[in-house]
Amino acid sequence: MNLEELKKLKEKAQRQVALREGNKKYRVVVSMGTSGIAAGARDVMKTMLDEIEKRGLDDVEIRVTGEHGLEDVEPVIRVEQADGEEVTYARLNAEKAKQIVAEHLAKGKKVDNLAVGKQKKAE
Amino acid sequence: MLEELSLHLLDMAMNSLAAGARCVQIAVLESAKRNWLIVRVRDDGHGMDAATLERVLRGHSGKQSRKKKIGLGLALLRQTSEMCGGHFHVRSAPGRGTAVAASMRYHHVDRPPLGDLQATMLALCAANPAVDVQLHYQSDDGKFFFSSQEQKG
């Protein structure tokens, strides 16, 4: 581990905290149980945090949860919208995570080919 | 399965959050010169009784564990640390939090890399902004301390 690298952690954490205030249009929940972590959930989350920061999307918050009960298709995230709509995305990697940020979170367009299961519609 | 020690740290800290911790202290102490590496997670969550702790250390087995949410993260870390010439220690009691420490030989051929500690920390900071997630890091080159609550300024 490089000590200099680690020092950047502070700046980075500060920038990400700044994006976190207020009510959000989107909440992203990352499944971060042991099986999620083993499948790469941390790197999916890191990519999303980086992309959100890069694009300055201040209408998104990211949270984590334990097991989703979807161990076979990890890494899994759920995007919850303020209007009640929910979409679950599965079998993710960094590339797909970028795509979800670029399409769903930045433009409000669901990424249908990555979504799984029944989607909860807006109320 | 968990190929980096920083993924183990994330896994353990997630358990701390699930246990309702308000403060999670992560420590990574490594010295190539003295040939050791220690990772430690300490929390003020609701802790475990002796029977639960024993089940956790054995790792999950079958249906019942699924219901009770027993994973195999700690069992894996214990195996890794013992395989790499180190020791593994857990202290926990109901209402008194949990502390896990694993040591290993720095130069042991099977020792997993530390990996992306920064990604682990950022994931934890975002996971629950109300919790103070701390990192103490120390190596031959110096020390570093981080607290997520300090970043709010």
pLDDT of residue A68: 67
Contact B95, B47 (CB under 8 A): yes
Distance of residue B51 Cα from the nearest chain A Cα, in angstroms: 21
A13 touching chain B per CB within 8 A = yes
Is A13 close to B121, i.e. CB distance below 8 A? yes
Distance of residue B138 Cα from the nearest chain A Cα, in angstroms: 9
Distance of residue A42 Cα from the nearest chain B Cα, in angstroms: 7
Mean pLDDT of B44-52: 94
Task: Assign a CATH topology to domain B5-152.
Answer: Heat Shock Protein 90 (3.30.565)
- Check whether A23 has a pLDDT greater than 90: no
Strands B88-92 and A115-120: unpaired
- Check whether B62 has a pLDDT greater than 80: no
Contact list, B151 vs chain A (CB under 8 Å): 10, 13-14, 17
Pick from B120, B144, B147 the residue to mutate for testing the A interface (most A CBs within 10 Å). B144
**Complex ipTM value:** 0.86
Pick from A5, A6, A11, A50 the residue to mutate for testing the B interface (most B CBs within 10 Å). A6
pLDDT of residue B69: 52
Its pTM stands at: 0.90
A12 touching chain B per CB within 8 A = yes
**pLDDT tens, residue by residue, A39-87:** 999 999 999 999 999 998 989 989 898 876 777 899 999 999 999 999 9
Pick from B118, B136, B138, B152 the residue to mutate for testing the A interface (most A CBs within 10 Å). B118
Q: State the count of interchain CB pairs (< 8 A) between A and B.
A: 97
Strands B36-43 and B98-104: antiparallel
Find, in chain A, the residue whose alpha carbon is nearest to that of B122: A13
- Check whether A22 has a pLDDT greater than 80: no
**Residues in Cβ contact with B47 at an 8 Å cutoff, skipping those fewer than 6 apart:** B19, B92, B93, B94, B95, B96, B97, B98
Give the right CATH number for A23-120 from 3.40.30.10, 3.20.20.80, 2.60.40.10, 3.30.2130.10.
Answer: 3.40.30.10
Is B7 close to A9, i.e. CB distance below 8 A? no
**pLDDT tens, residue by residue, B68-103:** 455 678 999 999 999 999 999 999 999 999 999 999
Average pLDDT in chain A: 88
- Going from N- to C-terminal start, the domains of chain A cover 23-120
Contact list, A67 vs chain B (CB under 8 Å): 69
**Residues in Cβ contact with B107 at an 8 Å cutoff, skipping those fewer than 6 apart:** B32, B35
Question: Using CB atoms, which residue from B11, B129, B144 is nearest to A20?
Answer: B129
A66 touching chain B per CB within 8 A = yes
Q: Please compute Rg for chain B using Cα positions.
A: 15
Q: At residue A100, what is the residue type?
A: I
A3 touching chain B per CB within 8 A = yes
Q: How many helices (H) and strands (E) does chain B have?
A: 5, 6
- pLDDT confidence bin for B65, thresholds 50/70/90: very low
Local structure of residue A105 (DSSP, 8 states): I
**Residues in Cβ contact with B121 at an 8 Å cutoff, skipping those fewer than 6 apart:** A9, A13, B26, B133, B135, B146, B148
Q: At residue A60, what is the residue type?
A: V
Mean pLDDT of B7-21: 95
A89: phi > 0 → left, psi -120 to 50 → alpha, else beta; which? beta
- Going from N- to C-terminal start, the domains of chain B cover 5-152
Is A66 close to B153, i.e. CB distance below 8 A? no
